[in-house]
Amino acid sequence: MLRIAIQAKGRLNEESIHLLAEAGIQVEEGKRKLLTRSEDFDIEVLYLRDDDIPQAVAMGVADLGIVGLNEVEEKGQPVEIVHKLGFGKCRISIAVPKGEDYRSCAWLEGKRVATSYPVILQKFLDAQGVRAEIHEIAGSVEIAPVVGMADAIFDIVSSGATLITNGLREVEKVLFSEAVMIAAPGLEQEKKQLLDQLMFRIEAVERSRGMKYVLMNLPDQKIEQATSVLPGMKSPTILPLTIPGWSSLHVVINEKELWNKIEQLKVIGAQDILVLSLEKMIY
Ligand code: ATP
Ligand code: MG
């Protein structure tokens, strides 16, 4: 049995549950129950605050965890980053009041910087050879300069709207973060196998993201031309129709180039085009 720690509530909770569901693991909403057991995969879900996930995994209380890379870096626990999950994207940046003449890190020398990420900040300052006073605060970091508690902040930014609202300007992007799957070091063989099985499922789901399954009918003599506008594909599937001289062509196309490809295929002579969603792609 595997035990995976996910965020109990907050920005990563819903997407973590959704990801597990897409991998065929249905778990109950974690709002009330602390620990739930999945019916269809040998896994148990432990709901924690995100701050506690790296330690829980490092201690082996959980075998796996889904948590922001920022928390992994900050806590410095010995865990293995198994996979980047592509959601919960944000960055941790230094921001200063927008009127300040900030040109380089040297501006920070002797200044007070408010943050919930003192470890990551200290590493950055050391690397830059700058000495600043770090003020650790748990929340509402962005108001610290306004109320005179700090000269600058080091905090999570996603759109930057919060910074603007508080009259701040982002000056150093220090860490780019996203949700990651972490594992306890040295998992035993049985757990390792379950992890491989889980990652196989997750990768199949990821591969299908943004991909569409497209079917169309086409005169046989146009197949070669149609195939040539689909360079990315290994080989489209071609099936004969009951109408002589016509075939059905099936391909997987990235959503980004979907309309462009469809327009080209129409010009070539494709008809009855169907675009279907893809759930999983297993090689
Ligand atoms: P908890 O109660 O579990 O401690 P929290 O308040 O510390 O929750 P959330 O605000 O739910 O944390 O954010 C969880 C994670 O989501 C962050 O650590 C970060 O990795 C990621 N994240 C992505 N975008 C943002 C954002 N705009 N603001 C804050 N966190 C973000
Ligand atoms: Mg937290």
CA of 89 to the centre of ligand 2 (A): 15
How far is Cα 111 from Cα 274, in angstroms, rounded to an integer? 61
Strand-by-strand arrangement of the 246-254 sheet: 237-240, 246-254, 211-219, 271-277
Give per-residue pLDDT as tens, 195-241. 999 999 999 999 898 899 999 999 999 999 999 888 655 678 899 99
pLDDT of amino acid 175: 98
pLDDT of amino acid 234: 65
Question: Residue 77: helix, strand or coil by DSSP?
Answer: coil
Report angle CA 78, 84, 88 to the nearest 5 degrees.
105
In the block, which residue shows the tokens 């499922």?
201
Ligand nearest, relative to CA of residue 84: 1
Find the mean pLDDT for residues 231-253.
Answer: 86
How far is Cα 244 from Cα 220, in angstroms, rounded to an integer? 9
Q: Which atom of ligand 1 is nearest to the CA of 69?
A: 20
Going by alpha carbons, the residue nearest to atom 23 of ligand 1 is 88
Give per-residue pLDDT as tens, 43-100. 999 999 999 999 999 999 999 999 999 999 999 999 999 999 999 999 999 999 999 9
Q: Which residue has the higher pLDDT, 120 or 29?
A: 120
pLDDT of amino acid 8: 92
Structure tokens at 45: 């879900």
How far is Cα 267 from Cα 44, in angstroms, rounded to an integer? 53
Q: Which atom of ligand 1 is nearest to the CA of 11?
A: 11
Question: Residue 250: helix, strand or coil by DSSP?
Answer: strand
Give per-residue pLDDT as tens, 115-165. 999 999 999 999 999 999 999 999 899 999 999 999 999 999 988 899 999
pLDDT of amino acid 31: 58
Structure tokens at 29: 């909403």
> Quick one: angle between helices 189-208 and 13-22, nearest 10?
90
Q: Which atom of ligand 1 is nearest to the CA of 158?
A: 27
List the one residue out of 234, 249, 263, 191 whose CA is nearest residue 4: 191
What are the angstrom distances between the C-alpha of 264 and each of 220, 222, 245?
17, 12, 21
How far is Cα 157 from Cα 195, in angstroms, rounded to an integer? 32
How far is Cα 27 from Cα 21, in angstroms, rounded to an integer? 7
Please list all protein residues whose beta carbon sits less than 5 angstroms from ligand 2, which is an ion. 50-51
pLDDT of amino acid 170: 97
Give per-residue pLDDT as tens, 1-21. 999 999 999 999 999 999 999
DSSP H or E run through 247: strand 246-254
CA of 169 to the centre of ligand 1 (A): 21
Q: What is the residue-wise DSSP string for 163-227?
A: HHHTTEEEEEEEEEE-EEEEE-TT--HHHHHHHHHHHHHHHHHHHHTTEEEEEEEEEGGGHHHHH
Q: Which residue has the higher pLDDT, 28 or 32?
A: 28
Q: Which amino acid is at 220?
A: D
